[in-house]
Structure 1
Amino acid sequence: MRARFSFIYISTWEEDRAISLIHDASTNESLIKTQRKVFTWSVTNGMAEIGQKGREDSKAPLKGLEFIESFDQPAVFILKDFHAYFGIGGRVPDQQVIRKIRDLVPALKQSPNPKNVIIVSPILQLPIELQKQITIVDFDLPSFSEIKNILDEMIQTNQANERITFDLLPEDEERLAKAALGLTLDEAENAFARAMVEDGRLDKRDVDIILEEKRQIIKKSEILEFVKTDLKIEDVGGLENLKRWLQKRNKSWLDSAAQYGLPAPKGVLITGVPGCGKSLIAKAVSAMWHLPLLRLDLGQIFSGLVGSSEENMRKAIQTAEAISPSILWIDEIEKGFSGISSNGDSGTSSRIFGTFLTWMQEKTKPVFVIATANNIHALPAELMRKGRFDEIFFVDLPTKKERVEIFRLHIGKRLGNPKVIGEFKLTEEILELLAESTEGYVGAEVEQAVITALFEAFSENRAIRLDDFHKAFAATVPLSITQAEQIHAIREWANVRAVAATPQVDRIEYRKEVPGSEAQEPKIEDIHATRGGRTVDF
């Protein structure tokens, strides 16, 4: 405004907040020497000074621009939703309005009284004729301090309300405010109010209610999917190395991490044998960190319209950053970015891949990316360079100890009815026996075997028996046999390029490389040949 820019364009949904900030800047002596009157224009009220009634004779856009031209005092004019005259939605632009704006530019610059025109609109739409005359100014969503102030004000206002209990430590207040980042001030206020009245209590558990409000933003984007999950990290059997790595990075987006000079983690690439819990980890991390989980379907990114695929990727990134801190989950990433060197799509895949790589390298917002891949050989080498992901983890066939935990989880989760349990007792001996019988099974096959055994009992309307599990095992041909060559190739790749998700102490327990082979105590040097993943424990 001090530089006498004639026309400024601010794209934001927060019209009232923008007008308030513009008014403060126009009347603050410490910010601007020549204070200005502030007018707003809309097609319903015409031109009106802040706090005054609108002029009926200025409701037409041309009349509003003529008022600006003839006004002879320092002023700022805020035009609401003026994008409607610039040809949005396929409509023909209003050439008279566009021409009048172009005529106004030199008149405003040469005026003895400083005047600025600011267009405030939720949509950025500029005709070609005005692209050199109008300056676009970014208007960020509310900062952490602004949202924290709203939360503090609401807590102070409702402290005397006997129907609402507040149980918040300073860290909990910070977590609530961080969870509301990406919302407008009105949305954040509504989310906090809903959290208070939902159960008459405001505490750290209300983060989930804030995230539910964020879900509305994702629903409207149509590119990202908000994944709601009740999974806990304890629901993932095994993979202790990966789980410990993730647990140590919990709360890393809070100010307490900044005291250690720590940046927010970028993300992890999880590769390995299909059905061993890669996607499960992504869902469990969301619950453990209390952050929204956004699933990016790369198939939705690629659109038939020229140029729209690149725009879809940019929108997905902007949405993920708008509601950060968040987790962006890309399942089977190799299917979206494989074959980018081919010219079959005129380079669209390469451009989208380049946009994603640049963002991964340069991003500053706390968006944690979890990418999973089954066929790691199909991924471009650039994606796996240090700086894109913090770490690459390899998830192998579960060890005996991990299979014990997987059986404990799935049987314990399903056996709750005394009629189904009968005389069956889930002892450590039984778990050990089941784990021994399922050498070479992936986690998904263990779960399916439990379900098959329960169907055996259900079909005969009786309690579950141990031999039901053995029947299920006999009917299963595990993935380690049907895809032995592919699994071996993945292990060879991961041996020097990835960190094992299973700790070294658990991998030593693995006795047989191929189901049915003779059990033998492996040597330490043989572990790396048969069990992929670098020896790094967290």
Structure 2
Amino acid sequence: MNTHSNTQPAEGKTLKTLRELIESGRPLIYIHSPEERRVSELLGEAAQTFFASPVPVWAWSLTEGMRSGTERAGDDALDAREALDFIAAHQGPALFHLKDFHEPLSESPEVRRRLRDLYELCFDRGKFIFISSPLRVIPEELSRSLIYLELGLPDQNELSQFVRDESRALAENGVKVDTSDATFTQICHALRGLTLDEARHAIRRAIAANKTLDSNSLPALFEEKRLLVNRTGMIEYVADGTRIDRVGGLEVLKQWLDERRELFQMRDSVSAEIVPKGVLIMGISGCGKSLSVKAIASAFELPLYRIDMTEIFSGRHGSAEGAFVKACHMLEEIAPAVVWFDEIEMGITSSATSGEQGRIFAFFLTWMQEKASGLFVAATANRIDLLPAEMIRKGRFDEVFFVDLPIDEERVDIFRIHLKRRGIDPDALGVERLVRLTKGWTGAEVEQCVVAAVTAAHLENRNVTLDDLLHAGGKIVPLSKTMREQCDHIRSWARDRAVRASPSEYAY
């Protein structure tokens, strides 16, 4: 079995930033983050590696006072002002971590004045003060003295080191851990987008469920991510993936995905310009656009996240523009993944002001060009003619596919798939005889026919017959008849603007 390397991984982005800040000599640094433990661990590593010889790390909190390991400053817990006096009097280089210092910083003029004094006292003396807080509170008089650092989610290097450390600790405690390169990579990808605390909880949850940490732990890890993204209300983790062979017809689209899948999986080793960015799938309602997106995620072996455009414009998350930008940035943090923008044209027909719509789509176009390579965008639209021309031009999406009404062979294929899913042998029924009856049907209408036939047979406690399908089909009025003008308009618009997802032209 190949095991992942024990060599020291590359320095993470956050640690690199800390190194640059310390080397610059600026003594006051404000770290905005809820991950207090992670900040402490980063400062501990910085103290050990960024100086000619290791320096102490002193941590202060309102409840514990000033401590460094088991050593404590003074007999009683120091208040905020006394903590700053301790820093001023400290001899030699050191790092000082002031936890939740935003309250004394905002409430006490004396504390703010003392911090300004410390800027001069600590500058170029190897003493650095790190204020960490989940809130951003920077008084005006300190805004030019403090360096502000937004501690983002751990990058791949930091996450890799975390998984190595956790795996080692679990193995030492008797937990069976699969250390193969493939499993290690899968676990790291599954944890992308989580804080280190959330990742630690996810691993503990997986251990509790399976008693091991291996490829079978991935569902538990993805469940933690599902809880994370679903609580935003704007992003939904879609768990019901569909294998590509469960999609009837659409052979051109399937072949395209099969060819691009390997390129996407090689995204870190090939030129960025040939890494697939995404597809736009438009077509008649009920013809398999949503099913195709789910199949893309399954084919690429990636989690699927759905952006709810209606929720974006609901006003429940502040301005639609801010909500959309926040959702897109969050998706980059949880890459690699397939991102589904469902009914993307809703962003234009919503009740938002035209100015806000314009800014949202200007951001989207830029984001599509500059987003993380680990995101594959799958957008669906029923009325693609409502979208701005600049969105569908070549270069935004790799391809624009049109999903039309299924042709004869495709409808038979769809019947077979839905019957087999319900344990029914399609060959015994002779489903080819349904071709004429189902002319002009969507894939959803084929499924509805199967469900109705199965229901009728179940009520009479017998097996499904061809007559059940014929009887159920006779009651269905297809969309292509009830909305003929709209279907013809969509088909006409797509004829010269999109690639057909099926190999041959639909004809009545």
Count of aligned pairs between the two proteins: 485
Distance 1:336 1:189, change over 3 A: same
Check conservation: 2:56, 2:95, Cα contact below 8 A. Answer: yes
TM-score normalised over the length of structure 2: 0.84
Q: CA deviation at 1:369?
A: 1.5
Select the residue among 153, 176, 180 that pairs with 2:187: 176
Distance 1:61 1:346, change over 3 A: farther
Select the residue among 106, 127, 152 that pairs with 1:115: 127
Could you tell me how far apart the structure 2 residues matched to 1:429 and 1:242 are?
Answer: 29
Select the residue among 6, 25, 30 that pairs with 1:4: 25
AA matched with 1:373:
A
Could you tell me how far apart the structure 1 residues matched to 2:307 and 2:89 are?
Answer: 52
AA matched with 1:282:
V
Check conservation: 1:279, 1:372, Cα contact below 8 A. Answer: yes
- Residue 335 of structure 1 corresponds to 346
Q: CA deviation at 1:203?
A: 4.1
CA RMSD in angstroms, aligned pairs only: 3.2
Check conservation: 1:276, 1:398, Cα contact below 8 A. Answer: yes
- Residue 63 of structure 2 corresponds to 44
Matches within 5 A, 1:28-43: 28=49, 31-32=50-51, 36-43=55-62
Could you tell me how far apart the structure 2 residues matched to 1:68 and 1:312 are?
Answer: 42
**1:466 matched to 2:485:** no
Distance 1:379 1:58, change over 3 A: same
Distance 1:378 1:401, change over 3 A: same
Could you tell me how far apart the structure 1 residues matched to 2:184 and 2:25 are?
Answer: 42
AA matched with 2:100:
D
Could you tell me how far apart the structure 2 residues matched to 1:434 and 1:130 are?
Answer: 77
Select the residue among 90, 93, 104 that pairs with 1:74: 93
Could you tell me how far apart the structure 2 residues matched to 1:47 and 1:215 are?
Answer: 39
Could you tell me how far apart the structure 2 residues matched to 1:466 and 1:40 are?
Answer: 76
Distance 1:190 1:251, change over 3 A: farther
Check conservation: 1:2, 1:32, Cα contact below 8 A. Answer: no
Q: CA deviation at 1:190?
A: 4.2
- Residue 12 of structure 2 corresponds to none
- Residue 456 of structure 1 corresponds to 456
**1:137 matched to 2:149:** yes
AA matched with 2:487:
I
**3-state secondary structure, aligned to 1:386:** coil
Could you tell me how far apart the structure 2 residues matched to 1:157 and 1:498 are?
Answer: 53
Could you tell me how far apart the structure 2 residues matched to 1:295 and 1:85 are?
Answer: 42
Could you tell me how far apart the structure 1 residues matched to 2:85 and 2:175 are?
Answer: 55
Q: CA deviation at 1:314?
A: 2.6
Could you tell me how far apart the structure 2 residues matched to 1:339 and 1:183 are?
Answer: 32
Q: CA deviation at 1:101?
A: 2.4
Matches within 5 A, 1:396-475: 396-415=404-423, 426-427=426-427, 430-475=430-475
Distance 1:500 1:205, change over 3 A: farther
Q: CA deviation at 1:398?
A: 0.8
Check conservation: 2:170, 2:177, Cα contact below 8 A. Answer: no
**3-state secondary structure, aligned to 1:136:** strand
**1:250 matched to 2:271:** no
- Residue 422 of structure 1 corresponds to none
Deviation sequence 1:111-168 (CA, Å, 0-9, x none)? 57343221222343445554333222243433334433444455566668887374x7
AA matched with 1:7:
L
Segment of structure 1 superposing worse, 232-241 or 188-197: 188-197
Could you tell me how far apart the structure 2 residues matched to 1:153 and 1:117 are?
Answer: 28
Distance 1:157 1:85, change over 3 A: closer
**3-state secondary structure, aligned to 1:108:** helix
Segment of structure 1 superposing worse, 439-448 or 202-211: 202-211
Distance 1:127 1:484, change over 3 A: farther
- Residue 395 of structure 2 corresponds to 387
Distance 1:81 1:153, change over 3 A: closer
Q: CA deviation at 1:322?
A: 1.7
Matches within 5 A, 1:190-209: 190-196=201-207, 198-209=209-220
Could you tell me how far apart the structure 2 residues matched to 1:108 and 1:125 are?
Answer: 18
Deviation sequence 1:20-42 (CA, Å, 0-9, x none)? 322333343xx446975422111
Could you tell me how far apart the structure 2 residues matched to 1:18 and 1:189 are?
Answer: 15
AA matched with 2:191:
A
Could you tell me how far apart the structure 2 residues matched to 1:181 and 1:410 are?
Answer: 35
**3-state secondary structure, aligned to 2:24:** coil
**1:261 matched to 2:280:** no
**3-state secondary structure, aligned to 2:136:** coil
Check conservation: 2:449, 2:473, Cα contact below 8 A. Answer: yes
Select the residue among 215, 222, 228 that pairs with 2:233: 222
**3-state secondary structure, aligned to 1:13:** coil
AA matched with 1:115:
K
Could you tell me how far apart the structure 2 residues matched to 1:147 and 1:455 are?
Answer: 50
**1:360 matched to 2:379:** no
AA matched with 1:177:
C
Check conservation: 2:59, 2:98, Cα contact below 8 A. Answer: yes
Could you tell me how far apart the structure 2 residues matched to 1:302 and 1:62 are?
Answer: 47
- The unaligned stretches of length 5 or more in structure 2 are 1-21
**1:372 matched to 2:380:** yes
